Amino acid sequence: MLVSLSLSSLLTLFFIMLMASGISGLLFLHPRVPLSFVRIHIGTLALPLLVSLLILANSGVSGNVGPWHLDSLACLMTFFVLAIGFIIQRFSVRYLMGDRSYRKYFTLFTFTTGAASMTWLSGDLRLMVLFWGATLVGLTLLIRLNSAWQVASEAAKISGRLFLLSWFSLFFAMMWLFHATGQWQLSLVVTNESLAGLGEWERTGIQLLIVLAVIIPAAQWPFQRWLVESIVAPTPVSAIMHAGLVNAGGIILTRFSPLFHGGIASIILLLLAGISVLIGTGISLVQVDYKRQLVGSTIGQMGFMLIQCALGAYIAAIIHLILHGLFKATLFLQAGSAVGRHEVSARTNERTSYLWVMAGRILSLVIGVAFWLTAPGDGYHLISALILGWSLSVSWTQLVAFGEGRIGRIAGLTVLGGAALVYFIIHHLFYKWLHTTIFQSVQPPMSAVMIVVCLLLFGSALGTWVARHRSSVFFAVLYLWLVRLGEAKPKSVESHPDYLKQYIS
């Protein structure tokens, strides 16, 4: 009872602090408020963040507080979104200084991250749909921040249409769930007793609606166009978009994981996500624009996250989306320093490098097989072993095989070993934290596992073949197709913003 009262009090304090930050953002809109007020506004943003950290520290016991559901997943995602939002807004104080939409940016940003945090705390399906809709509206307005720029308006229009389709899909799925179970409370909807009343066709229909609602904001094929167009948004907007909002699909699927036990919806999700991994990786490799490279990377990473969800590895998906969010936010915020001088040094001993490459591939094969043999009956374990072996082979080649001399290779081995150690520590901590909250799915059917394995092997074989046949017609066609996929529509491209001409005299 004491814990319940404590969480209830903390939740009330959290909402008060969140409202204070929202009011601060609204005050900043007034033209008479000095621009220096932005630092006070940033200070108010720290208040709900600190309270969310306290809630996270006390989230050991799951439970409902009114229409809100508090467990480790909800508290973790709330803290994560607010923390990323706080860092990016603090970064934007100087970065966007002088922008015509400077005041509006901070207000919209605060509104969007606040609505996203409320979404994951919602234990009522109606509140979840409402706040997720508010998050999508805020994201659309952020893309359209420079409304005088026709390109930004066009990108917002494309994004808004797809977001509306996604929202309606989630809305109808929640209405269908209520009609079938008679419950609005999330914790009651996903119980075995409630789901037992669903017919096979009802379960499949709801699953397909949720999948559609998820793959659109995750920018999965064939709905990746909105993310490609959105690069016209200010870089801090892209940072929060890629770090804390695009990956929301993993959280939604995790929340409704008891609904998914294989079936046609999971197969469709696997196929679309697998295709998106290949397309996103290809876009990131052929684009020369830094932000477009990051867009392609995000499409591929979100595809892999959804594959994890489709295979029942929800804890791995949550870990993935958090680490990806931190990594991608960092890359976007340092986009201004991405262009640098790179000198390519000639390798003095190609034979030695080749021997190191072969040693790395043999080591990767051994470690991958050994990892798989620890749980040979686990389908997701097989996929993880393939990805582990491939990742180790690529990392070894870049950090060790092509290292400059003995010192370079020692440094590469140190970095590789340190990164592996940090990852396994983080994975262990998150698993220990989340395993009591997140539904443990049954093993995915072998047909689904083989689909993913075939896609991974096909992508690897295609990449190897293309690298050796760059003068072929197929390579040219594939290259130009990927370039076209990564380019925005002509209406969304403008090298020199027309609205700036009025300032040129």
Residue-wise pLDDT tens digits, 456-480: 777 777 777 776 777 778 778 887 8
Most confident of 68-72, 73-77, 108-112, 283-287: 108-112
The answer, as to whether pTM is greater than 0.75, is yes
Confidence (pLDDT) at 161: 92
Evaluate if residue 367 carries a pLDDT over 90. Answer: no
> Does residue 403 contact residue 411 with C-beta atoms inside 8 Å?
yes
| Count of CA atoms in the C-beta half-sphere (13 A) of 150 | 12
| Count of CA atoms in the C-beta half-sphere (13 A) of 200 | 3
The answer to which of 30-34, 35-39, 55-59 has the lowest mean pLDDT is 55-59
Confidence (pLDDT) at 4: 45
* Of 150, 146, 135, the residue nearest 78 (C-alpha): 135
Our CA dihedral for 145, 148, 150, 152, rounded to 10 degrees, sits at: -10
pLDDT in tens, 251-291: 899 888 888 876 788 888 888 988 898 888 888 888 877 88
Computed over every residue of the chain, the mean pLDDT equals: 81
| Count of CA atoms in the C-beta half-sphere (13 A) of 12 | 6
Evaluate if residue 341 carries a pLDDT over 50. Answer: no
Instruction: Give the three-state DSSP class for 70.
Output: strand
Q: Which two tokens stand for residue 7?
A: 């969480």
pLDDT in tens, 305-338: 898 888 888 888 888 888 888 888 888 888 766 5
CA distances from 31 to 96, 113, 244, 389, 489 (A): 17, 23, 30, 57, 36
Q: Residue 124: phi, psi to the nearest 5?
A: -105, 130
Q: What is the mean pLDDT of residues 141-163?
A: 86
Q: Give the confidence band of 2 by pLDDT, cuts at 50, 70, 90.
A: very low
Confidence (pLDDT) at 108: 92
Q: What is the mean pLDDT of residues 228-252?
A: 85
Please name the amino acid found at residue 249.
G
Confidence (pLDDT) at 501: 59
CA 331 to chain centre: 14
Q: Which two tokens stand for residue 234?
A: 């200010």
> Does residue 216 contact residue 224 with C-beta atoms inside 8 Å?
no
Rounded-to-integer distance, Cα 321 and Cα 328, Å: 10
∠ at Cα 410 (406, 416), nearest 5°?
145
Q: Residue 375: phi, psi to the nearest 5?
A: -155, 70
Q: Which two tokens stand for residue 253?
A: 């699927």
Q: Give the confidence band of 3 by pLDDT, cuts at 50, 70, 90.
A: very low
Confidence (pLDDT) at 175: 92
Confidence (pLDDT) at 436: 66
Confidence (pLDDT) at 127: 92
Rounded-to-integer distance, Cα 238 and Cα 227, Å: 9
* Of 168, 133, 130, 160, the residue nearest 144 (C-alpha): 160
Evaluate if residue 377 carries a pLDDT over 80. Answer: no
Confidence (pLDDT) at 351: 55
Confidence (pLDDT) at 494: 66
